Chain A
Amino acid sequence: MKKIENRAIVCFLLALVLAAGTGLFLIRYVARGDRWASSAFNRHLYNDQGHLMAGTVVDRDGDVLSSVRDGRRTYYEDETVRKATLHAVGDLQGNIGTGALNAFAGRLTGWNFLNGAFGADLGGELTLTIDARYNYEAYRALNGKAGTVAVYNYRTGEILCMVSAPSYDPLHVPEDLESSERYQGAYLNRFLSSGFTPGSVYKTVTLVAALENLPGVEERRWGCEGSVPVGEEIIVCSGVHGEQDLAAAFANSCNVAFAQIAVELGTDTLRRYTEKAGLTSAYEVDGLPTAKGSFDWDLTQGRLGWAGVGQDRDLVNPCGLMVYMGAIAGGGRAAWPYLIAGSKNGLGIPSLPRWTRKTGTLIDQGTAEKLAELMAGNVERTYGAERFPNMDLCAKSGTAEVGEGQSPHAWFAGFLRNKDAPYAFVVLVENGGGGSRVAGTVAGKVLDVMVNGY
């Protein structure tokens, strides 16, 4: 009998498996419960049309972006504001996954671990970090083009402006939304969820690698005759820049110089610096994962030349790039970006204050300071400081070729060193044309409102 009694341990082990699995379920429940509850089919939070039953979304100054009145969900009264804040607030049909109405439904309705959705019909209030006015200006500045504009405070992490275009009015959904060319990818929040060819903005990474790995690089000079053969490829430049030092080559955004630098650095070094800059990792913005950038590192010499100037198969995510800009400004580390300033549940009890979280070191401090000076030099020499009044601006433009017959993507990314306006930003205009001219202008308009008031 004793032998058989000892074997009864199998029953005990099975019971342990049940207990362990239930424990795993509990961990998932605690970690993801609010996202599970925030599903459009959850009838405790959403009505039978899939509209969130209760909860108010406000911007950082308390402007109501969406609320429920007389049992119907409404939005801000101005149509342009509705379009400009659509990807932050969310649509009624649940197609825009990054919108607060979908992503943060739990917080909006006061869902919590103890009570679940009980009392969710009372509705809570969710304050976003964005300012509707900045979004409005940014959306207008994009002027109907597809693209994205985002600005965040690299000291605190608040995302002050986040626009993705094309957008549409959530109260009057266009009938051709899913068929028309002009609404292509309208559900997508380009800032968080997309990757784009970076073009010359990627030179900020190549430059950092050069500063740290090529001794005496700041004293060297490169000649540019408009193009140069690298390996099997001919790297073409935007102009003929002649003899130039590193700072001038950066300000001129000279492909000839940077392709040669990239080849000198080699694939492994470039890869290391790209990964360190955080361009291949994802950030979680209040639980919303950003898209990771992607790079093909299996390169021939010629392709390495192109990759070093942000072409080839390079793709970066706008949010990742913006945080990298923040890290350059912050001496190597930046605040982690976030969208929810705070919330109140149905009984008016506010959420706990949040603390600033920092990224890892994306760039060494000394290099960050040098790079910032060089980026300030870009504005001085190339973009024109008078376009950005009262701003101690450091920036890099990009004009990313995206294929024959298509206008290039226009990029403008950088940051302000103003004490009272510690903002990092990224602007992308799809098929917009020249980086500084098109995207720089959009950035200038938005930053002007933010720094000089409206």
Chain B
Amino acid sequence: MNLSDLLAAYPDLGPWYTAFARFLFPLLAGAILWRAVRSLLRIPHTPESWGQLSLPNGTSIPLTHWENILGRSRSADVCLGYPSVSRQHAALCRGEDEQWTLYDLGSKGGVLLNGEKVEGSASIQLGDTIQLGGVPLIFLPQTVAEREELEEKRRAERPAAMWPSFLWLTVFQLLACTQLMIATGDSLVIPLAFLGLTGVMWLYAVALRLARCVGFEMETIAFFLSTLSLSVTASSAPGSLFKQLLAIILGLILFLTLGLFLRDLGRVQRNRWTMAALAIGLLAVTLVLGNRKYGAVNWISLGPLSLQPSELAKICYIFAGAATLERLFHRRNLTLFIVLTGLCIGFLGLMSDFGTASIFFVTFLVIAYLRSGDFATLSLICGGAVFGAGILLKFKPYILSRFASWGHAWENASTGGYQQTRTMSAAASGGLLGMGGGEGWLHRVPAADTDLVFGMLCEEWGLLIALLAVGSIVTLAFFTVRACRVGRSSFYTIAACAAGSLLVFQTSLNVFGSVDLLPLTGVTFPFVSNGGSAMMSAWGLLAFLKATDTREHASFAIRRQKLRSTPPD
């Protein structure tokens, strides 16, 4: 006897199930996220060590990054408190093929390698002697004892096992699927889609575990949010359920591919131009071939599939914008990056996709600040942007009308504040626990499962789960900031911060726009909104975060450290 027969025989069963299960969902969500969040926030951990510099006074300083600045400044990675050493004196970077390079950063005292003056840069071997402004240092590998101690320490910091969370998530998926089947009366598409998700999730976990990966916190969060996405889609657009599942799978593949690609810094460096071109190309193609949907020309239809290339352009943009320290020495100004940004934002402006344009702009500010640390220039750029926006509004005043009801949604409940008031009313109807999946009405409002998805979460799944979804994104950002401390290269640090900031800012625009704290700009909630391109882009961005996770064996996006130390003789 299947569920629909059972429900037909006992019509009271459905309401009773909902009344009971709605208490379970927030508990399960808490159980799923608790371990992941706690484990992610425990970072930073003991950093990796790539060698050490032995000082004249007998102490030695470990090199914890692939890119290290040597100097007198307190912000130097190897801080040398000698008056003859410049604030930023030299850099020691690990390049392709594990080759180390020594750079003179325009120091006053000069840099000597094995007694010879370094002009610009020079290749350096383990055991070489460096002199910075007359201060001698010896570049040494770690000793076996030190290495083993470090290994020991790092192994003790093993990430929390995630299988209980995966188990709870499976229960969540099972209960949610049943709830949605009861609410919608569907007994084929929904169970198949949920089964697909559960299967993919376990397949991923098993495959990576076999590859000796142990860190699954971010994936837990992403799979949880993707489950919410399927639930929302089942309620609002059951027809797109398989498409959404496919998007999750493609996203996962993108996540894996990009993560593996990011392992090799040299390869990454070589492809930055390609990525910049791809970002521009994707946006340009959209502009030429795009269709208008909800006021913005940001869709391309390929047969039955419609694609939003601007979502994928985000990944390319961050890829192109992040840079290694080595590159930052060569090219100190941001001109090319500003040109790239200008093109991207210009194209988005022409598409009238101001939400995505503002996301690009904030990402630009984050990357530019990380690269240059130059407040003055950035303030100037912000001022210019405000000025530019002013000019734009002067020539296209109709843009302003989109923001006219901002903050006054209830006074314009049937015009400009239509979507926001519906979102708030539906959200308030949900209470803490929600009306039950598939039992809402907000999905009948246009763009409910994308721009207003926060309202749908509140209405059907309750305020608690909606807040947990926002909290998940905040956790990812906190993790990024802390994991950066032990990142290998500035490329990973910058890319992860940019991706984290992008996810957070996009979530802010989505949530605040739907409840009238900000103008409604029509951007998606990462991982949750219904939409294939957005889902893939969110998973892709997660790869940048994964690439800063240098915990022992935690991340597939980190190449494992080859054991190299002085052989015992």
Please encode chain A, from 1 to 18, with 1 for each CB lying within 8 Å of some chain B CB and 0 for all others.
111111111111011011
Given A1-B68, A3-B69, is A22 in contact with B511 using a C-beta cutoff of 8 Å? yes
- CA–CA, A22 to B477, complex, Å? 15
Which of the segments B195-203, B281-289, B308-316, B485-493 contacts the partner chain?
Answer: B485-493
Please encode chain B, from 487 to 505, with 1 for each CB lying within 8 Å of some chain A CB and 0 for all others.
1001001100100110011
Please indicate the chain A residues that have their CB under 8 angstroms from the CB of B430 in the complex.
116-117
- B478 at the A interface (CB under 8 A): yes
Given A1-B69, A4-B494, A118-B22, is A11 in contact with B421 using a C-beta cutoff of 8 Å? no
- B366 at the A interface (CB under 8 A): yes
- Report B141-157 residues with CB < 8 Å from chain A CB: none
Q: Kindly state the interface size class of chain A when it binds its partner.
A: 35 or more
- B77 at the A interface (CB under 8 A): yes
Given A22-B467, A114-B432, is A10 in contact with B370 using a C-beta cutoff of 8 Å? yes
- Report A5-52 residues with CB < 8 Å from chain B CB: 5-12, 14-15, 17-19, 21-22, 24-26, 28-29, 32-34, 36-37, 39, 41-45
Distance in Å from the Cβ of A441 to the closest Cβ of chain B? 41
Given A17-B508, A22-B511, A33-B428, is A4 in contact with B474 using a C-beta cutoff of 8 Å? no
Please indicate the chain B residues that have their CB under 8 angstroms from the CB of A17 in the complex.
504, 508
A44 to B508, Cβ gap below 8 A? no
Q: With A4-B490, A14-B504 given, name 9 new contacts (CB 8 A).
A: A1-B68, A2-B76, A8-B493, A11-B481, A11-B501, A12-B477, A18-B511, A19-B474, A25-B517
B432 to A11, Cβ gap below 8 A? no
Chain A residue with minimal CB distance to B517?
A21
Chain B residue with minimal CB distance to A43?
B441
Please indicate the chain B residues that have their CB under 8 angstroms from the CB of A33 in the complex.
428
Residue among A11, A15, A24, A28 with max Cβ neighbours from chain B (10 Å): A11
Residue among B65, B69, B425, B463 with max Cβ neighbours from chain A (10 Å): B425
- B473 at the A interface (CB under 8 A): yes
- CA–CA, A42 to B421, complex, Å? 10
- A267 at the B interface (CB under 8 A): no
- A115 at the B interface (CB under 8 A): yes
Using CB atoms and an 8 Å cutoff, list the residues of chain B in contact with chain A. 19, 22, 65, 67-69, 75-77, 325, 362, 365-366, 369-371, 373, 413, 421-422, 424-436, 441, 462-463, 467, 470, 473-474, 477-478, 480-481, 484-485, 487, 490, 493-494, 497, 500-501, 504-505, 507-508, 511-512, 515, 517
- A112 at the B interface (CB under 8 A): yes
- CA–CA, A27 to B280, complex, Å? 42
Please indicate the chain A residues that have their CB under 8 angstroms from the CB of B435 in the complex.
44, 116-118
Write 7 A-B pairs (CB below 8 A) sorted by A numbering: A1-B493, A4-B490, A6-B75, A12-B477, A18-B505, A36-B425, A44-B441
Chain A residue with minimal CB distance to B430?
A116
Distance in Å from the Cβ of B181 to the closest Cβ of chain A? 19
Contact of A18 among B22, B497, B508 (CB under 8 A): B508
- CA–CA, A18 to B515, complex, Å? 13
Please indicate the chain A residues that have their CB under 8 angstroms from the CB of B485 in the complex.
5
Given A10-B370, A14-B501, A41-B422, is A115 in contact with B512 using a C-beta cutoff of 8 Å? no
B369 to A14, Cβ gap below 8 A? no
Please indicate the chain A residues that have their CB under 8 angstroms from the CB of B427 in the complex.
29, 36
**A-B interface, 8 closest residue pairs, ranked by CB to CB distance from nearest:** A116-B431, A15-B477, A36-B428, A117-B429, A37-B428, A43-B441, A33-B428, A44-B429
Using CB atoms and an 8 Å cutoff, list the residues of chain A in contact with chain B. 1-12, 14-15, 17-19, 21-22, 24-26, 28-29, 32-34, 36-37, 39, 41-45, 111-118
Please indicate the chain A residues that have their CB under 8 angstroms from the CB of B426 in the complex.
42, 44
Contact of B463 among A9, A28, A29, A43 (CB under 8 A): A29
Given A18-B470, A43-B441, is A29 in contact with B428 using a C-beta cutoff of 8 Å? yes
Chain A residue with minimal CB distance to B470?
A22
Contact of A5 among B429, B470, B493, B512 (CB under 8 A): B493
Please indicate the chain A residues that have their CB under 8 angstroms from the CB of B490 in the complex.
1, 4
B429 to A37, Cβ gap below 8 A? yes
- CA–CA, A25 to B513, complex, Å? 11
B433 to A115, Cβ gap below 8 A? yes
A8 to B428, Cβ gap below 8 A? no
- CA–CA, A14 to B477, complex, Å? 8
Chain B residue with minimal CB distance to A45?
B429
Please indicate the chain A residues that have their CB under 8 angstroms from the CB of B477 in the complex.
11-12, 14-15, 18
